[in-house]
C-alpha cells in the first residue's frame, strides 16, 4: 500500500515546497515541521499553503516531533542547512541541525513504530573521489557538511538494521530552479548568476569557470524524493543528478542566450580551502533500481530560472542579497 500520511521536515524549503506540490497532486496528506529560518513562511506558494499542516518548530526538539510523527505512514526528512556557506559561517549550528535533527527523526519514528524514512544526504559526501560519483564509493568527507551527512547515512543504516525500518538516503547534486528566492545569497550558482546578469551586474567566477556541476532541476529533485517514498526498496542510498556535467562558463553562456546579451564575468581565485572542481553523478542505480530519471535539462532549467527572475525583478533587489557579493560585483552606480 502506498503511504499516504506523510510528515515532511523542512517542507517550506526549496526542495520541500516543490516536492509537496507533486505529492498533494497525487493525493498525499502532508504535515510539515519547519523552523522557517531560511526565507521564512512567506515563500510558501499560494497553491500549497492551505493544503498542508504547517507546524513551526525545530527538528532538534524531540517533543515537537513526537506528536507529529504519530499516525504517519512515513517521514521525508529535508530540514538541514543546504549550502556549504551556512556550515562555513556557523559550523556548530550546521553540524548540530544535521546530526541532532536526523537522530530525533529516527528516534521519534522508532517510538511511533513508523517503518519508512526518505532523507536528504548530499553529493558532497563523495568529494575527493574521482568523477563520476558512484554510490558504492568509499566516503572520505572533506568538510563538516559532508561529514554530518555521512553520519546521517550511518545513523539511518544503524536504525534500519536494529529496528527494522527502511531508510532511503538521497544524495542530491546541484539543485536549482525557478523559485529559489528564499535562499538569497545561499542560492544555487545558476540563480545567482542569472539574478546578477539580469540586473546588469558582473558575475564573479571562482577559478577559470571550467569547474562543473551536475545541475538538477528542483521539480525533478522533488520527484526523486516522492519516488523513493513510493518504491518498496531496502535501505540504501541513491544519487539524484542528471548524469550530465555542465561548466560554469556554459551556464553563463546559456543565461546570456536567454537574456540576448553575453556578459564577461570576473574570474577570481578560489577564496576557500575546500572547493569541488567537478561534481558529476553516475545515475545508473537511480535509473535501474529507484526508477528515477530527470526530465528537465539544464538549458530548459536556465530558461525557467531567467523567466522567473524577470517576473520577480520589480520586487527583488539582487544587489542587496546577503552573501551574494561573493558571486557578483555590484557595479558603480548600483
Ligand atoms: N539544494 C541543493 O542543492 C541540495 C543539494 C544536496 C543536498 N541538499 C539537501 O536537501 C535538503 C533540502 O535542501 P533545500 O535546498 O530545500 O534547502 P532549504 O534551505 O531551502 O530548505 C530547508 C528547510 O528546512 C528548514 N530548516 C532548517 N533547519 C531546520 C530545523 N533545525 N528545524 C526545522 N526546520 C529547519 C528551513 O527553514 C528550510 O525551510 C537539505 O537537507 C540539504 O542539505 C540540498
pLDDT tens digits for 181-229?
Answer: 999 999 999 999 999 999 889 999 999 999 999 999 999 999 999 999 9
Q: Residue 209 region, left (φ>0) first, then alpha (ψ -120 to 50), else beta?
A: left
Partners of residue 179 on adjacent β-strands: none
**Whether residue 73 is found in the same domain as residue 118:** yes
Around Cβ 45, how many Cβ atoms within 10 Å? Answer: 12
**Strand 236-240 to 166-172 pairing:** parallel
- 227, part of any domain: yes
Helix (H) or strand (E) holding 201: none
- 198, part of any domain: yes
Using most ligand atoms within 8 A of CB, pick from 9, 14, 32, 168 the residue to mutate for ligand 1: 14
Using most ligand atoms within 8 A of CB, pick from 78, 125, 242 the residue to mutate for ligand 1: 78
C-beta of 38 in contact with ligand 1 (< 6 A): yes
157 three-state secondary structure: helix
Atom in ligand 1 nearest the alpha carbon of residue 10: 24
What does the CA dihedral 126, 185, 11, 110 come to, rounded to 10 degrees? 40
Closest protein CA for atom 21 of ligand 1? 13
C-beta of 17 in contact with ligand 1 (< 6 A): no
Spatial separation of the C-alpha atoms in residues 223 and 226, rounded to whole Å: 5
**Whether residue 65 is found in the same domain as residue 197:** no
C-beta of 13 in contact with ligand 1 (< 6 A): yes
89 three-state secondary structure: helix
C-beta of 108 in contact with ligand 1 (< 6 A): no
The pLDDT value given to residue 3: 59
Instruction: State pLDDT tens for residues 243-262.
Output: 999 999 999 999 999 999 99
Residue 331 clears pLDDT 70, i.e. is over it: no
Q: What is the mean pLDDT of residues 231-238?
A: 98
Closest protein CA for atom 36 of ligand 1? 38
* Residue range of the domain that includes 107: 5-174+215-240
- 53, part of any domain: yes
Question: How far apart are the CA of 264 and the centre of ligand 1, in A?
Answer: 32
Closest protein CA for atom 35 of ligand 1? 79
- 290, part of any domain: no
**Whether residue 47 is found in the same domain as residue 168:** yes
Tally of domains in the chain: 2
**Whether residue 33 is found in the same domain as residue 100:** yes
Amino acid at each position: 500500500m502506498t503511504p499516504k500520511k506523510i510528515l515532511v521536515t523542512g517542507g517550506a524549503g526549496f526542495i520541500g515546497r516543490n516536492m509537496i506540490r507533486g505529492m498533494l497532486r497525487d493525493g498525499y496528506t502532508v504535515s510539515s515541521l519547519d523552523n522557517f529560518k531560511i526565507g521564512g513562511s512567506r515563500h510558501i506558494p499560494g497553491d500549497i499553503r492551505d493544503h498542508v499542516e504547517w507546524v513551526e518548530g525545530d527538528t532538534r526538539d524531540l517533543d515537537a516531533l513526537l506528536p507529529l510523527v504519530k499516525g504517519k505512514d512515513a517521514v521525508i526528512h529535508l530540514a538541514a542547512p543546504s549550502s556549504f556557506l551556512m556550515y562555513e559561517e556557523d559550523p556548530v549550528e550546521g553540524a548540530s541541525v544535521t546530526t541532532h535533527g536526523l537522530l530525533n527523526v529516527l528516534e521519534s519514528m522508532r517510538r511511533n513504530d513508523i517503518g519508512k524514512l526518505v532523507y536528504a544526504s548530499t553529493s558532497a559526501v563523495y568529494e575527493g573521489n574521482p568523477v563520476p560519483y558512484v554510490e558504492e564509493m568509499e566516503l572520505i568527507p572533506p568538510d563538516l557538511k559532508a561529514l554530518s551527512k555521512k553520519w546521517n547515512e550511518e545513523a539511518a543504516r544503524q536504525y534500519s538494521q536494529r529496528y527494522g525500518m527502511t531508510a532511503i538516503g538521497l544524495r542530491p547534486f546541484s539543485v536549482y530552479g525557478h523559485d529559489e528566492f528564499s535562499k538569497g545569497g545561499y542560492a544555487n550558482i545558476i540563480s545567482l548568476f542569472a539574478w546578477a546578469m539580469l540586473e546588469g551586474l558582473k558575475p564573479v567566477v571562482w577559478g577559470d569557470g571550467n569547474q562543473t556541476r551536475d545541475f538538477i532541476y528542483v521539480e525533478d529533485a522533488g520527484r526523486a524524493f516522492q519516488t523513493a517514498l513510493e518504491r518498496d526498496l531496502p535501505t540504501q542510498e541513491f544519487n539524484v543528478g542528471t548524469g550530465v556535467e555542465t561548466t560554469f562558463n556554459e551556464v553563463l553562456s546559456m543565461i546570456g542566450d536567454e537574456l540576448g546579451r553575453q556578459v564577461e564575468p570576473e574570474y577570481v581565485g578560489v577564496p576557500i580551502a575546500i572547493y569541488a572542481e567537478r561534481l558529476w553523478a553516475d545515475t545508473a542505480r537511480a535509473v535501474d533500481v529507484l526508477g528515477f530519471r530527470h526530465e528537465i535539462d539544464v538549458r530548459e532549467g536556465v530558461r525557467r530560472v531567467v523567466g522567473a527572475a524577470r517576473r520577480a525583478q520589480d520586487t527583488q533587489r539582487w544587489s542587496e542579497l546577503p552573501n551574494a557579493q561573493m558571486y557578483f560585483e555590484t557595479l558603480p552606480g548600483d
